[in-house]
Amino acid sequence: MATTSKIEWTEMTWNPVTGCVKVSQGCKHCYAERMAKRLFAMGAERYENAFRPTLHDDLIDLPRKWKKPRVIFVNSMSDLFQEAVPEEFIRRVFMTMRECPQHTFQILTKRSERLRDIGQRLQWPFNVWMGVSVENAGAMGRITDLAAVPAHIRFLSCEPLIGPLDDLQLKGIHWVIVGGESGPGARPMEPGWVEGIHRQCRRERVPFFFKQWGGVRKDRTGRSLNGRTYDEMPQRLSTFNAQLCKAG
């Protein structure tokens, strides 16, 4: 199960695991849960368990069939490091990523403690980017766990941003994504929160990606910050730093 993605910072999604369990305030209005329930109601075979954690063993090797290089978000409909996913299954996912060097794989988790534990026993290829969700100050401990993982690219997804994030620990972090919550019941995001993160990224020379303002109708709020769009990515890190040096 793979689809072309509308997520601004990736190209495709690959879901060898679907379903999840909520663990923090960032999960309150989970888009993946809404989509899974809709697909269940439509009779989609992969979602016969709705949003209960489900392993799709037959999808582990899927990226091997794609010869053209792609940027792939791993488990957009789940969390690879949740307790319901055995370590052996995670190892097999990593083996596929390691043996598909033509692709770039992006993984995002809220289970940073388990990531830190298992991550020490995994082989981390250059084409795997590892991130944690940091939705408010209460989730900043995840950054410490991420920093201990030997991934070559480590990133933060501050989405849905539901509170200010002052004093972010950005040492060893290579990318920051910021976005507001969208869809039914979306909680508002203050402009000052976004600008604060942007200033910290500029100070520490960390690429900054502003995904959306969000809201019930995110198509109406857009993704422009102070009159411009921020699409910075870690693969452009050298160019990005050179530009900052010239700008003073």
- Percentage of the chain beyond pLDDT 90 is 90
> What number is the average pLDDT over the span 140-163?
97
Q: Is a pLDDT exceeding 50 seen at residue 119?
A: yes
Q: In this structure, how many other beta carbons lie within 10 angstroms of the beta carbon of residue 241?
A: 13
219 or 231: which carries more pLDDT confidence?
Answer: 231
Is residue 226 within 8 Å of 202, Cβ to Cβ? Answer: no
Q: Is a pLDDT exceeding 60 seen at residue 244?
A: no
- Residues 152-186 pLDDT 10s: 999 999 999 999 999 999 999 999 999 999 999 99
Confidence of residue 248 (pLDDT cuts 50, 70, 90): very low
Token code pair at residue 200: 């910290």
Domain that holds residue 179: 2-247
Q: Is a pLDDT exceeding 50 seen at residue 222?
A: yes
Position 238 scores a pLDDT of 38
Position 6 scores a pLDDT of 87
User: Mean pLDDT in the chain?
Assistant: 93
Position 1 scores a pLDDT of 56
- Residues 2-48 pLDDT 10s: 678 989 999 999 999 999 999 999 999 999 999 999 999 999 999 99
> What number is the average pLDDT over the span 113-140?
97
- The secondary element (H helix, E strand) that includes residue 117 is helix 112-119
Position 239 scores a pLDDT of 41
- The secondary element (H helix, E strand) that includes residue 94 is helix 87-98
Q: Which letter, b or e, does each residue of 192-214 get, where b requires 16 or more Cβ atoms within 10 Å of its Cβ?
A: ebbebbbebbeeeebbbbbbbbb
Beta-carbon contacts of 40 under 8 Å, excluding residues fewer than 6 positions away, are: 47, 48, 49, 50, 51
Is residue 97 within 8 Å of 131, Cβ to Cβ? Answer: no
Distance CA 8, CA 26 (A): 19
The DSSP 8-state label assigned to residue 227 in this structure reads T
Lowest mean pLDDT among 3-12, 137-146, 193-202: 3-12
The three-point CA angle 56-5-154 to 5° equals 80
Q: Is a pLDDT exceeding 90 seen at residue 219?
A: no
What is the tally of structural domains in the chain? 1
**pTM greater than the 0.85 cutoff:** yes
